[in-house]
Structure 1
């Protein structure tokens, strides 16, 4: 797999994970805790967990292809657990990978 392919796959995973996390935090959880409707949390939470696992794998594949430091990869992985952070990380990673730089340093 080329770096461009790994980058494309990472970008898709970052966006899907980010959108899923926002739906979970901004829609599903308020429905559960303010309106007593836990169904959406069960579905979206499970989907976000699945997509986050794919995000982990695809981030690590990109990190391996680009020879990132382990701490850099870890920081990008954490971005998938913080609302809006995966979008910021995806933008930064894309810019830096395209010029051959580490995503964090």
Structure 2
């Protein structure tokens, strides 16, 4: 798999994971805690967990292809657990990978 293919897969995974996390945090959790409706949390939570595992795999494949430092990969992985951070990380990673640079370090 080429770097460009790994980057494309990472970008898709980052966006899907980010959207899933936003739905979980902004829709499902308020429904559960404000309105006593926990059903959506169980569905969206499990789905986000599964999608996050795909995000992990895509990130690690890209990290291996681009020879990232382990700390760089870890920071990008953590971005998938913070609402909106996966979108910011995806933009930064995309620009830096295309420029031949590491995603976090200078």
User: What is the TM-score normalised by the length of structure 1?
Assistant: 1.00
1:86 maps to 2:86:
yes
TM-superposition CA deviations, 1:29-84 (whole Å, max 9, x none):
00000000000000000000000000000000000000000000000000000000
Residue 96 of structure 1 and its aligned partner are, at CA, apart by 0.2
Residue 97 of structure 1 and its aligned partner are, at CA, apart by 0.2
Residue 7 of structure 1 and its aligned partner are, at CA, apart by 0.1
- Structure 1's unaligned 5+ residue stretches are none
- Structure 2's unaligned 5+ residue stretches are none
User: Which residue does 2:23 correspond to in 1?
Assistant: 23
The number of residues matched between the two structures is: 105
User: What is the TM-score normalised by the length of structure 2?
Assistant: 0.99
How many angstroms apart in 2 are the aligned matches of 1:95 and 1:68? Answer: 15
Instruction: Please provide the CA RMSD for this pair.
Output: 0.2
How many angstroms apart in 2 are the aligned matches of 1:37 and 1:12? Answer: 30
Residue 103 of structure 1 and its aligned partner are, at CA, apart by 0.1
Runs of 4+ in 1 over 4 A off after TM superposition: none
